[in-house]
Amino acid sequence: MKHKARKRFGQNFLTDEAIIGRIIDSIAPGPGQLIIEIGPGQGALTRPLVESGAEIHAIEIDRDLAAQLPARLGHPSNLALHEADALETDLPAISGGRNYRLTGNLPYNISTPILFHILGQTQLPLDIHVMLQREVVKRIVATPGGRDYGRLSVMVQNLCEATPLFDIPPQSFDPPPRVDSTLLRLTPRDRPLVEAPPHLLDQVVRAAFAMRRKTLRNSLARLIDEDSIRAAGIDAGLRAEQLSIAEFDALARQMARHSVS
Ligand code: SAM
């Protein structure tokens, strides 16, 4: 069953058995668990996941790969294949409301939208192990003050504890991607770090980083006036990358006060 990798689906298949073993050890799958895998491809991770005895739900957009995968793995009874776009999939509906874990060697071209989609679910996974571009992982774990710090850092850290586990070189894949990868563990928090209504936090963070070179007074002008920024205890002369998550929270809560008054 030879498959030619499709670029438009971000297909870089893991072929390095040692790396696959380390990834599976990090996930530690086992009987009684329900694991959703995004993008099983040719089953490099799906096979050991299935062999662990966990109930595996794999979501694959490529019709050919989806059709071939059960046969490739010998039609295991604990594998359910969903031929679908992960970006449009309701994950708790797949798990039937049960606790679920999530994993995937994500297609690089849409890894950030997939992460936001996962973190926007009504029921979050117990944990998430994903392979991402190393640069994306750097942005996720970045702290204020640097170029890597942005919307992705604030929104992911607000919801999850993020732990980079190890790097994976391009040679571990076929075809090799042009970038290094990192296995990242995200553990959703019991509740978000901050209290602001999520849609307001998203609005203010998005606006601030859309014009990250400008001061808040300018980048947020359409959302919140300078007096209100000051009333939130924030210097309107700062730029987005200088603000902690708690400070974005203060701005979003100030906006909430305004929208009800
Ligand atoms: N898990 C396999 C591995 O590690 O060898 C394949 C990883 S490959 C980087 C990404 C996989 O995600 C491919 O199988 C691709 O077809 C699939 N994919 C791409 N976009 C997708 C989407 N929107 N929804 C579900 N699967 C997708």
Q: Which CATH number belongs to the domain containing residue 72 in this structure?
A: 3.40.50.150
pLDDT per residue as tens digits for the range 17-31: 999 999 999 999 999
Residue closest to 104 by CA, chosen among 202, 50, 27: 27
> Average pLDDT over the chain, rounded to whole?
96
pLDDT per residue as tens digits for the range 82-133: 999 999 999 999 999 999 999 999 999 999 999 999 999 999 999 999 999 9
Answer whether residue 261 shows pLDDT above 50. Answer: no
Query: Which of 4, 9, 35 to mutate to test ligand 1, by most ligand atoms within 8 A of the CB atom?
Result: 9
Residue closest to 34 by CA, chosen among 81, 67, 70, 79: 79
Q: What is the average per-residue pLDDT within 163-167?
A: 98
Asked, for residue 74, whether it belongs to a domain, the answer is: yes
Task: Specify whether 93 is located in the same domain as 19.
Answer: yes
Partnered with residue 38 across adjacent β-strands are 59
Cα distance between residue 165 and residue 143, in whole Å: 18
Domain boundary among the residues 130, 165, 188 is at 188
Task: Specify whether 88 is located in the same domain as 24.
Answer: yes
Sole residue written with tokens 């790097």: 167
Task: Specify whether 209 is located in the same domain as 183.
Answer: no
**Could you tell me the distance, in angstroms and rounded to a whole number, from the CA of residue 192 to the centre of ligand 1?**
29
Cα distance between residue 186 and residue 161, in whole Å: 6
Determine the atom of ligand 1 nearest the C-alpha atom of 59.
Answer: 25
pLDDT per residue as tens digits for the range 135-156: 999 999 999 999 999 999 999 9
Asked, for residue 41, whether it belongs to a domain, the answer is: yes
Q: In the numeric block, which tokens belong to residue 76?
A: 């295991």
Domain boundary among the residues 188, 213, 239 is at 188
* Contact between residue 250 and residue 232 where contact means Cβ atoms under 8 Å apart: yes
Asked, for residue 112, whether it belongs to a domain, the answer is: yes
Residue type, 178: R
Task: Specify whether 174 is located in the same domain as 210.
Answer: no
Q: What percent of the chain has pLDDT over 90?
A: 94
Helix (H) or strand (E) run with residue 58 in it? strand 55-60
**Could you tell me the distance, in angstroms and rounded to a whole number, from the CA of residue 41 to the centre of ligand 1?**
5
Q: What is the average per-residue pLDDT within 209-226?
A: 96
pLDDT per residue as tens digits for the range 241-260: 999 999 999 999 999 987 64
Asked if residue 169 has a cis previous peptide bond (ω within 30° of 0), the answer is: no
Residue closest to 129 by CA, chosen among 54, 38, 13: 38
Asked, for residue 237, whether it belongs to a domain, the answer is: yes
Task: Specify whether 63 is located in the same domain as 174.
Answer: yes
pLDDT at 258: 74
**Could you tell me the distance, in angstroms and rounded to a whole number, from the CA of residue 108 to the centre of ligand 1?**
9
* Contact between residue 249 and residue 194 where contact means Cβ atoms under 8 Å apart: yes
Task: Specify whether 79 is located in the same domain as 154.
Answer: yes
Q: Give the pocket of ligand 1 (CB within 6 Å).
A: 9-14, 38-42, 44-45, 59-62, 65, 85-87, 105, 107, 110
Q: How many domains does the chain have?
A: 2
Q: What is the average per-residue pLDDT within 4-18?
A: 94
Asked, for residue 193, whether it belongs to a domain, the answer is: no
Query: Which of 13, 65, 118, 173 to mutate to test ligand 1, by most ligand atoms within 8 A of the CB atom?
Result: 13
Answer whether residue 180 shows pLDDT above 50. Answer: yes
Looking at 2-6, 52-56, 224-228, which range is the least confident one?
Answer: 2-6
Task: Specify whether 103 is located in the same domain as 174.
Answer: yes
Q: Residue 2: which pLDDT band, with cuts at 50, 70 and 90?
A: confident
Domain boundary among the residues 134, 165, 188 is at 188
pLDDT at 246: 97
Q: What is the average per-residue pLDDT within 63-89?
A: 97
Task: Specify whether 136 is located in the same domain as 236.
Answer: no
pLDDT at 259: 66
How far is CA 231 from each of CA 226, 227, 243, 255, rounded to the nearest angstrom?
9, 6, 15, 11
Asked, for residue 2, whether it belongs to a domain, the answer is: no
Range of the domain at 245: 198-260
pLDDT per residue as tens digits for the range 186-212: 999 999 999 999 999 999 999 999 999
Q: What is the average per-residue pLDDT within 20-49?
A: 98
Answer whether residue 1 shows pLDDT above 80. Answer: no
